[in-house]
Amino acid sequence: MRILIVQGSMLLLLTAVTTGCVGSSSVTKQPQALVANTEQPTKEAVLTSTPTPTEKTTENSTSKATIATNPTRCETSQLSVRRVSEDAGVGNVALTYAFTNNASSPCTLYGYPGLALLDAKGQPLQDVKIIRSQDTYFSSQQPPQKVTLAPAKQASFQIAYNQISSPEKRCPMSSKIEITPPNTYQHFTLAEQIKPCTGKVRVTSVRAVGTQP
């Protein structure tokens, strides 16, 4: 009876050891599986949250909006010019001209138009000086300023001179004039008789219509 008990105890001990080894092996594997499952979703979330496409779209839309809201410089081809008024007093003459925007979109003008006085053959008059001036006998001092012309709107400027002659000197007289919009190269040619007896013609900068004194 005692031998059987000992053997039975040994059997019980061996069974316990075997059971313990199996149990410890399964516990070790389970944490490893849990760690692998928690790492993968974290990496995927980082990749899908990259904001690069959104940032590119925002930059492109901003640049297009900026371009659309900034009118370009007026070109000669989209303008026309004509004389709109004349003033005279004490021998002084001021001719007011206006540029009109004939295009379907706004544009800008800034500065002084170009001017040339021509004879009947289309040659520049000799001994006539063109002077850029902020004022004339008929207008107060106004520095150049940018003028934005909406379609069909106008910007004006003055040509001023003195026509008092003297017996000793013959005054030059133009048959035509050339007017070039500010910051452009092409010009308009108009039939115009201008007699600057002092040899000086003043030209003001372009101004929004309604701001001429």
Domain identity same for 117 and 186: yes
Domain identity same for 40 and 108: no
Residue 190's Cα: distance from chain center in Å?
33
pLDDT of the residue at 210? 65
- Kindly report the CATH number assigned to the domain that includes residue 125: 2.60.40
Domain identity same for 80 and 134: yes
Domain identity same for 111 and 6: no
Please give the Cα distance from 212 to 53 (Å, whole number).
Answer: 52
Locate tokens 């004022």: which residue?
Answer: 135
Does residue 92 fall inside a structural domain?
A: yes
pTM, two decimal places: 0.65
Does residue 127 fall inside a structural domain?
A: yes
Residues with Cβ within 8 Å of residue 200, at least 6 apart in sequence: 128, 129, 131, 161, 162
Number of domains in the chain: 2
Q: Which domain holds residue 133?
A: 72-208
**55 three-state secondary structure:** helix
Does residue 122 fall inside a structural domain?
A: yes
Domain identity same for 107 and 152: yes
Locate tokens 């989209």: which residue?
Answer: 78
Domain identity same for 99 and 6: no
Instruction: Give phi and psi for 8, each to the nearest 5.
Output: -60, -40
Mean pLDDT for back-to-back runs of 10 residues, the chain (213 residues):
45 40 38 37 32 38 44 95 92 95 97 96 93 85 90 96 84 95 96 94 90 51
Domain identity same for 199 and 102: yes
Does residue 142 fall inside a structural domain?
A: yes
